[in-house]
Structure 1
Amino acid sequence: MLGFVPSHEGFERALQRPSWCTFHVEPAGGAGESYGAAMSVTHEVTNQAPPLAGHDPIAGDAALAEACVRHADAATLDSLKALGALAGSEQAQEWGRLANENPPRLRTHDRYGHRVDEVEFHPVWHDLMRTAFEHGLAGAPWTSPEPHAHVRRAVGYLGWTQAEMGHACPVTMTYAVVPALRRAPELAARYEPGLTATAYEFGLAAPAGKRGLVAGMGMTEKQGGSDVRANASRAVPQADGSYALTGHKWFTSAPMSDLFLVLAQLDEGVSCFLVPRVLPDGTRNVFRLQRLKDKLGDRSNASSEVEFDRTTGWLVGEPGRGVPTIIEMVNMTRLDCVLGSAATVRAALTQAIHHTRHRRAFGALLADQPLMQNVLADLAVESEAATALAIRLAAAVDAGEQDFLRLAGAAAKFWVCKRTPTVVAEALEVLGGNGYVEESGLPRLYRQAPLNSVWEGSGNVIALDVLRALGRSSASLAAVRAELDLAGGADPRFDAAVNRLTTELADPEALPLRARRIAGLLALCLQGSLLLRFAPPTVADAFCATRLGGDGGAVLGTLPAGTAVTGIVERSSVSAA
C-alpha cells in the first residue's frame, strides 16, 4: 500500500512551478522517491498552441474592416475599437465558456406555490447582454442619426458574437422587432424608446419604467412548424381594445424578454399581436413557461414552450395580415442569421490559423505545409465571401434598398447558413483531436453552426422564399441584377455563372424542384460580384476558380495549383487589439 506524504521541500518547489505538485512517494514502511520529479518530465507541455487572446476580431480582420470602411467610413470602424478589444480578450472568452457551461434554468413557481415563470441565468450572461446593448448592437440603429448606423451595428455584431453566439438571439429580436412594431404607431410610440435604448435592464417590470427593453418572438406551434397559417392559437377582442390570446407556442425565443410579437387567429385569419410579460399597470401577464428546450447548441440562451390563457395582447398591423406584419421582423432576423453564420465561420477560421502557427508535425509547422495552407486559404476565402455579403446586406438597410434586400437577403440566408457547418467541421479537423475536445471551443462552434440554417425557416423554406421574391417583384430581381452587373466582364467564370443563373430563371418548369440550386447560385454570384470588385485579386481568383467553376467548393482544401495560398492566409490572420 502506498502512502502519499507531501514533502515540505516539494511544496516550495510546487509553488514556484504551479504546473505540477511534488509529492513524496513512500511505500509503507520504507523509503520513497520523488514522484514529482518523474511527473515533471512526462507532463512537460510542448508543441501546443498558446491561448488565443488579445486579438481584435473587428479592426484586426482585414475583410471585415475593409467592408466597414467601404460601406461606411473609417470613423465608424474606429467607433468599434473598444468592442473589438473586448471581443478578443480572455475575459470575453471566459464569459462565453461560463454562459454555455451554466445554461439557464426555469423557475415556474416560488417557494409558496405562486406561479412566477422566470428564467435564471449565470451572471456572465448579463455581462454579454449588457455589452451588446451598450455598444448599440440591439435596437439603437433605428433611431440613430448616423447615416451608417446599420453597417456599424452589423460589423460590431459580427465581431462581438465570435466570443459567444447564444446571447445574440435576444439581441437580434430586439433589433428586428422595431420595423414590425411601427405598423402600430401607438404601440411604437410607447415601446420604441425602450427598444432602441443602449441600456440593458434584466428583470420583469412594467416596460414604461425600464431603461431598456428586450424583445422576443413566438410564431411556431407544434402542429405547424414553419407553416404558421396552421397556427391554432386564438385571439378574442376585448372591450378596451386589447385581445385575449389562448394557445400554445412550441418555440418562443428568449422567454425572459419584456415584449413579444406573436401570431394568433382572428376571424379574418392569422394576425400579429404584441404581448408584454408585464402589463402597463405592473401586473404579470399570463405567460406560462412549460419547459425550456434542450437544444443541440445555443445552450446559453433559453428557448421555451409557452402557454397562453386569455393572455393580453395588442394588434399589430391589420387583422388577418399577421404574416406580412411579422415578416418585417423576420427580414431583419434573416440579416442576423447571415451575420451570425459569418461570425461563426470567422471564429473557427481564427482558431484554425492560430493552431497551425504553433503546432509542429512531421518536422515543420502545420502552417508551413502546402496541403494545410490550401485548407486554411480555402476556409479564408469562404469567410471573406460570407463577410462581404453580410455587410453588403446591412448597407442595404441603411440605404433603404428594400427590393435588393428582399431577394439578396433570402439567398444569402440560405447559402451562408448552409455552408457554415461544413466550414466549421473542416476548421475543427485542422486541430485534430485537440479540436474535438470541449476546451478548444470548436465543439461549441460546431453545435452552433446549424442553428441559423434552421432559425425562422430551414433551407427548403428559404429556398422557396427566394422563388417567391423572384416571382412577386421584378424590382427585386432587377436590383440584384444591377449588383451583379457591376462586376460584369471582370472574370469569365463569373460571367458564365451569371449566364447559368439567367438560364435557370428562364426555365419556369419545376422551379420548386430546383429552388435550392437557384438560391445557392444566386448567393454565389452576389459573393463573386463583391469579391471581384473589392477583395484582393488572389482571393477573388480563388473564389471564382472553386465556387463558380470547378467543384463548387464542395470539398474544402482543393484550391488549384498556382493559388497564392500563403498570401490569402496571411490576410486572414487577425491582429492584436
Structure 2
Amino acid sequence: MSQMTDQACPSQWAETHQVFNQPTPLENYNAFSSDLTLQHWMQVFAGGWGHSRCLAYGKAVGHELLQAGFLANKYKPEFNSHDRFGHRIDQVDYHPAYHQLMETAIESGYHQLPWQQPSEGANVVRAALGYLHAQADPGTGCPLTMTFAAVPTIRQQPELANVWLPKIFSRQYEPDNKPFFQKAGVTIGMAMTEKQGGSDVRANTTIATPIKKQNSGLAYELVGHKWFCSAPMCDAFVVLAQAKGGLSCFLMPRWRPDGCKNQIFIQRLKNKMGNVSNASSEVEFRGALAWLVGEEGQGVPTIIEMVALTRFDCIIGSAALMRQAVAQVLHHTAGRQAFGRSLQQQPLMQNVLADLAIESEAAIALGMRVAFSLDQQGQEHHQSFVRLATAVGKYWVCKRVVQHSYESMETIGGVAVVEDNILPRLYREAPINAIWEGSGNIQCLDVLRAIHKQSTTLEVFFQEIMVSKGSDKYLDNVIQQLKQMAVKLPQISVDDAQWQARQFVEKLALALQASILINEGESIIADAFIAGRLAEPHYQYGTLPASINAVAIIERAMPQLGDK
C-alpha cells in the first residue's frame, strides 16, 4: 500500500467552520443587582431595607443555584416504597442539587421572614427573595411556599403551634427521613385535592374519626386518599377530611409522636410536564394520625389564609418566570447580529423586546403592591384589597406568562428549544401556577364571591385604581366600563354573572396594573403599557405603537452585568 500524502489528507479538513455571532450564556451574574425593575419596586413598597439580603441571594441565584436548578430538574425525584430489607419506607430521594436549593432558601429566611420580622416591607422583601429563587428553580418554591403559608392555619390551634412553629421558623434545613421531634427545622406540605372533587374540596370523601385527646391536640384517624400531595417528604401536611361536623382541617405528621411511621402510603409520583424538581404524589391514608386544627366543619375557613398566601406566591412565581425570560432574550439579542446589525437594533425586534419587558414589569409591580398590603396587618382597607387583588392577580399574571414564555423562545430562535437552555424549562413551567392553587375559573368565582359577600371589597379596589383617574383617558374609559359592569352584577342572574366573569376580572387586572405603573412607576413603562393594553389592545407581543420609547424600555430591563 502506498504511503498517504499530505495532499490526500490535508489537516484543514478537521475544521469545517469557526463559531462566531453567538452570544455568551447568561450565567455567573447577580440576579438582583442586574435587575433594576425589582430594585425599583422593592424601594417603592418599603422593602428597600432588604437590599443587602437580596444582593447576597441574587448572587447565589446567578451562580451556583442556577446550575443547581438545571441538575434538580434533569435528575427527577425517585420514589422508593421499601428499603432493601423489605420495610415500607415511602421515601422520595432527590438529587443533591434539590437539597442545595432548599437549604439556601431556608437559611435565607425566605420561608419565615414576615412571621419572624413583622415589619413594614417584610412581605415585600420575602416576595423579592422568592422572585429571585424561582428564576433558578420554581419547583423547590412549592414546599417553601407551603411551609410559609401554613403558619396562619397552625396558629389557630395553640397546642400545635407551640410544638411546630419554632421548628417551622428555624433556618436550619433537615431533609432526613426521621421523626419531626428529632429535627431542629421542618417543612410543611398540603394534601387537599381528591380524584372526584378537584377544586371542589367539599366533595372530599376522606373520613376523619376522633381517637382521643393527646398532648399535641385532639387526635383523629384518617382513612382516604389524596390525588395531589405536594412535596411528600415534608414533615407534616395540612389536610382536609370529613369529620362528623363536616369538612375539617387537620395537621398530619409523616412520623407519629411515638416514633413510628404514620399510616401515609405514597402510591406513585406524578410524571409532570413542569415543576419537575418538586415531587407531587398520590397518597392513601390508612388510619393515619392527624390533629384537628380549628373546629369541626370549619375546614375551608381554617385554611383560607393559607390558600390565599400560596396563590399570592403563584403571582410572584409567574412574574419570576417572565423576568428570567426577559433577561435571557435581552442578553441573547444584544450579543447576536442579523442583517448587518445587532438584533436589538432591529425595529421589529425592539417592539417585541419592549413588549415582553413591559409585561414582566407590570407583573412584578402588581405582585409587590399586594405584598405591601400584606404588610399592613389588621388594616381593613388593605385586607380587603388583598382579598380581591390576589384573585385578580392570580388569574391574570399566571395566564399571561404562558404566551410570554413562548414568545421569548421564538425571540431567541432554534437554540431556545434545546434543553441546555433554560427557556424550555420556563415554557413547561409556565402553565403550572395558573392551574395549581385554583384555576382561572376558580379565581373568577372567588372574585364574584368576595364582591357578593362584602360589597366594600370592590369599593376598596376602585379606590386603588381611582387614584389614577384623570391621568389617562384610556384608563378612565376602562374604569368607567368596570363601574358599569359592577352596577349590573347584582342585578343579573348567577349564570350571567359567571358568563361575564373573565371579562370583568381581566379589566380589573389591566386597570390595576396601569394604575400602579402610573402612580409608582416610570412614565415610559406606564405609557407603553396603556398604549399596548388599553388604548389599542393587541393579541400578540410586538404590536406596540411607534410612539413608545422602545430603546429606553429595553435599557431599563436589560440585565446589568457589572456587579457579579
Q: What band does the TM-score fall into relative to the shorter chain?
A: over 0.9
> 1:141 touches 1:196 (CA, 8 Å); kept in 2?
no
Residue identity matched to 2:479: V
Matched residue type, 1:111: R
Map of 1:74 onto structure 2: 48
Q: Of 526, 532, 541, which aligns to 2:512?
A: 526
Q: Tell me the CA shift for residue 424 of structure 1.
A: 0.6
Partner letter of residue 187 of structure 1?
Answer: L
Q: Residue 379 in 1 paired to residue 356 in 2?
A: yes
Say if 1:55 and 1:222 are closer, same or farther in 2 by CA, change over 3 A: same
Task: Name the structure 2 match of 1:19.
Answer: none
Please tell me whether residue 212 in structure 1 is matched to residue 185 in structure 2: yes
Work out which of the residue numbers 132, 135, 151 in structure 2 matches 1:178: 151
Q: Which residue of 1 is the match for residue 12 of structure 2?
A: 37
> What is aligned with 1:235?
208
3-state DSSP of counterpart to 1:242: strand
Cα separation, 2, equivalents of 1:426 and 1:185: 49
> How far does the alpha carbon of each residue in 1:254-313 deviate from its partner, in whole angstroms, 9 at most, with x for none?
101001001100122111100010122322111101000000111111000011001000
After superposition, the Cα gap between the structure-2 partners of 1:253 and 1:337, relative to the gap in structure 1 and judged at 3 Å, is same
Secondary structure of the 1:47 match is coil
Q: Secondary structure at the match of 1:197?
A: coil
* Cross-structure match for 1:10: none
- Which amino acid in the other structure matches residue 462 of structure 1? Q
For 1:339 and 1:165, how far apart are their aligned partners in 2? 10
Alpha-carbon offset, residue 73 of structure 1: 4.4
Residue in structure 2 matched with residue 297 of structure 1 by the alignment: 274
**What 5-or-longer segments of structure 2 have no aligned partner?**
none
Contact residue 220 and residue 226 of structure 1 kept, 8 A: yes
1:512 maps to a residue whose letter is Q
Question: Helix, strand or coil for the counterpart of 1:309?
Answer: strand
Q: Is the 8 A contact 1:140 1:197 kept in 2?
A: no
SS at match of 1:238: strand
Match of 1:569 in 2: 554
Q: Distance in 1 between matches of 2:119 and 2:437?
A: 29
Aligned to 2:263: 286
* Secondary structure of the corresponding residue to residue 173 of structure 1: helix
SS across alignment from 2:212: coil
- Match of 2:175? 202
Structure 1 35/539 Cα, relative in aligned 2: closer, same or farther at 3 Å? farther
CA distance in 2, matches of 1:415, 1:310: 41
CA positional deviation for 1:442:
0.6
Instruction: Report whether the alignment pairs 1:547 with 2:547.
Output: no
The one of 28, 32, 37 equivalent to 1:63 is 37
1:88-127 pair list within 5 angstroms: 88-89=62-63, 91-127=64-100
* Post-superposition CA distance 1:76-133 (Å, at most 9, x none): 22222110111112x2221111111101000000111110000000001000001111
**Which residue identity is paired with 2:180?**
P
Which residue type is aligned with residue 379 of structure 1?
Answer: L
Alignment check: 8 A CA contact 1:139 1:176 kept: no
Deviation, structure 1 residue 204: 2.3
Partner-residue secondary structure (3-state), 1:249: strand
1:504 Cα deviation from its structure 2 partner: 1.4
If the length of structure 1 is used for normalisation, what is the TM-score? 0.92
Determine whether 1:369 maps to 2:346: yes
Q: How does 1:205-354 map to 2 (within 5 A)?
A: 205-240=178-213, 241-354=218-331
TM-superposed CA distance for 1:462, in Å, is 1.1
Q: Check whether the contact 2:331–2:559 (CA below 8 A) recurs between aligned residues.
A: no
- Answering whether residue 537 of structure 2 is matched by residue 556 of structure 1, we say no
1:512 aligns with 2:486: no
Structure 1 position 31, deviation (Å) = 4.9
Which amino acid is 2:189 matched to?
Answer: G
Indicate conservation of the 8 Å contact 1:287/1:307, yes or no: yes
Pairwise CA distance, 1:436: 1.4
Q: Which position in structure 1 is the counterpart of 2:471?
A: 490
Distance 2:408 2:174 in 1: 37
| Residue-by-residue CA offset, 1:331-376 (whole Å, 9 max, x unaligned) | 0001100000000011111111011001111111111000000000
- Please point out which of 367, 375, 386 is paired with 1:398: 375
Aligned to 1:475: 456
* CA–CA distance in structure 1, aligned partners of residues 330 and 506 of structure 2: 27
Paired residue type of 1:38: W
Aligned-CA RMSD value: 1.5
Aligned residue among 379, 389, 395 for 1:414: 395
- Secondary structure at the counterpart of residue 106 of structure 2: helix
Structure 2 residue aligned with 1:49 = 23
TM-score by length of 2: 0.95
Q: Is the 8 A contact 1:83 1:156 kept in 2?
A: yes
Q: How many residues align?
A: 548
Distance in 1 (alpha carbons) for counterparts of 2:183 and 2:199: 33
Contact 1:191 1:208 survives alignment (8 Å): no
Alignment CA distance shift 1:87-1:36 (3 Å) = farther
